Each structure stands twice: as C-alpha cells, then as structure tokens.
Amino acid sequence: MKKLFILFSIWLCVATAGAQQKERNLYSVAFYNLENLFDTIHDANKDDYEFLPEGRYKWTAEKYEAKLKNMAKVLNEISRDRISEGAAVIGVVEVENSQVLADLVIQPAISNYKFIHYEGPDKRGIDCALLYDPEQFTVTHSKLIPSVPFEGDTVHLTRGFLVVDGLLAGERVCFIVNHWPSRGAEPPVRVHAANQVKALKDSLMREDKKLKLIVMGDLNDDPMDESLQVLGARKYPKQVKKGELYNPWWETLENKGVGTILYRGEWNLFDQIVISKPLLKAKKGLKYDHNEVFIRDYLIQQDGKYKGTLLRTHGGRTWLNGYSDHFPTIIYLRK
C-alpha cells in the first residue's frame, strides 16, 4: 500500500507539473473598446467638450478617476484565470490621448503594462492604442498608418491603423489595431476601411510570407458582413487560403449567439481579433488555441429598466460609474 501511495504521489506531481508547464506555454491577446476614456482637459482642435467639467456629462476629476479604476479592473482580469501574468498584449480604442493612457497604466492593478500611441485624426480626439506587458512582448517597431477618406468624406474618417511589430514568446508577431467608422456611416465606408487594411496586410505578408499577423479592433461590422469578406477573414480554418485570415468570431456570433455589444435587443460582435494562416497552421512555435468573449456579471446591469444590458459609464446623461458598452475579446496562443 505504501508503495502504491508513493507511485500515486509521483504521478500526481508529474501531472501537476505538466499542467503548470502547459499554462506557462499559453499566451493571450485581447481587445477592448474603453468607451470614451477622456480626461477633463480640453485638447486643442478636438471636439471633446462633452467630457469637460462644464460639458454634457459634467466630467469631473472624480468621475475620471473612477473610470480609470474601472478600466484597470477589467484589463487586469482579462485571461488572468488561465495565465497568471494576464494578457501579453491588449489593443484598445476610444482613448483620448497619451495622457489618459499614462494615467491608466499607473493604476496599481495594471502597473506592469506600457503602451504605444500616436495622435490620430479623429475630430472627437479618440484614438487606437496598444497596451503590452514588456515581460511577455518586446516592441521592435511601431507606426500609425493614416486612413484615406472615402470619396472625400472627412466626417466618417477611420482613426488610422496602428501597426506594432515585436517579439512574443521569442517569435515575431505583428499587430494592426483598428477602429472603423461607426454605424452612423453607410457600409461602403467600412468596406473602404477594410480595403486599406487588406492592402496593408498584403504588403506586410509579401515581405514575410510566414508572418504571424493579428488584426484586431472595433470594426463596427459583424464577422459575416461585406467589409470582413473584403478583408479576407474566413469562418472556418479549412477555408483560409494563402494570404487570408481566420475569423473565429463568426462561429461565436452565428453558431453560439454570443456577441460583444447589445443594440435594441440584438447582439452584434464588432470587437474582433483575426489571425493570419501561419498562426492557424503553425507546425512549431506560437499557434492559435481558442477564443473567448470576456463576460463577467459586474459588466452587466443586474436590475432596473436596462437589466441584462452592459453597464456603461453613462446611461443618457446619468453617470452609472460602469465600464463600457462593449465586452472585451481574447484569443489564446499556445507555444
């Protein structure tokens, strides 16, 4: 019996060590629309007046600090249940400037993160950015590619395309962070944005045919919409041809009914992370494992008129001290 106990103990230690090793070889990449992360100071030449102390939302220092704390709570918890270090990289949108990002990453919950940001052309001042844990991801190059207006339309400009290149788990991985024009614009405007990202993707992949590329963002379209088809983001792995992308969120929305934004009682999944074929079919190194919409009870209204909807920062002009009108999304990569 004693011998059997010793053998069982050895097996348990080996199995536990194997499980721990498995999780150490797991990395996550996330995306989150922070929904109007504005400071309380006017930026010259930007229409940020709603988010000033005397503006529509009476945006005070107290509310701003609460928003930073709430955002940090979510960002800290993303994938933490699977990976002790949390997400390696998190693309974010609807950030006003570098100062709000600096204020964000000094929050104790996410003080391990640094950020990449360039001032974009949006009239309200909201931009794309990339948060990253330097212990997991090393930045080698970054730039903001300006967007080209659709038929001269300067109202519905996309926010530019943030390209960040670096090393994740010792391998080159390239990210493109997007925030395409809202549903206030007609579909051709987002198709135009998709064409620009496709051209950028094709250029990067001509230089490196084995490039592990991740395109993420609030695309303001669902995975089955025309813009995503123009981008070449396919529903099933077997459909992905050379130079195309895999979009795991198509099945998430269409087959499972899970979305990231609720509008008039219907779920949409605008917050997507799509990957190049080398991440899908890798025979060695980093490879796509699975995806997840990050849903937690505290992100959802638990009572009242809007029970079941996302708990936002504001409901109309009323401050709710919530989070965002979007759920975050995550993909997991295994080394």
Instruction: Convert the pLDDT of each residue in 114-146 to its tens digit.
Output: 999 999 989 999 999 999 999 999 999 999 999
What does pTM read for this prediction? 0.92
What one-letter code names the amino acid at 16? T
- Please report, for residues 48, 57, 195, 227, 228, the alpha-carbon distance to residue 231 in angstroms, rounded to integers and kept in the order given: 32, 37, 6, 6, 5
Q: How confident is the model at residue 5 (pLDDT cuts 50, 70, 90)?
A: very low
Assigned superfamily of 28-334? Endonuclease/exonuclease/phosphatase (3.60.10.10)
Per DSSP, the three-state class of 46 is coil
- Over range 46-54, report the average pLDDT: 96
- Whether the per-residue pLDDT at 149 is higher than 60: the answer is yes
- Whether the per-residue pLDDT at 94 is higher than 90: the answer is yes
| Residue 86 near residue 78 (C-beta atoms within 8 A) | yes
pLDDT tens across 167-198, in order?
999 999 999 999 999 999 999 999 999 999 99
Q: What pLDDT does residue 14 have?
A: 36
Residue with tokens 């045919």: 209
pLDDT tens across 249-299, in order?
999 999 999 999 999 899 999 999 999 999 998 788 999 999 999 999 999
- 279: tokens are 């991440």
Q: What pLDDT does residue 6 have?
A: 37
Q: What pLDDT does residue 96 have?
A: 98
What one-letter code names the amino acid at 216? M
| Residue 233 near residue 247 (C-beta atoms within 8 A) | yes
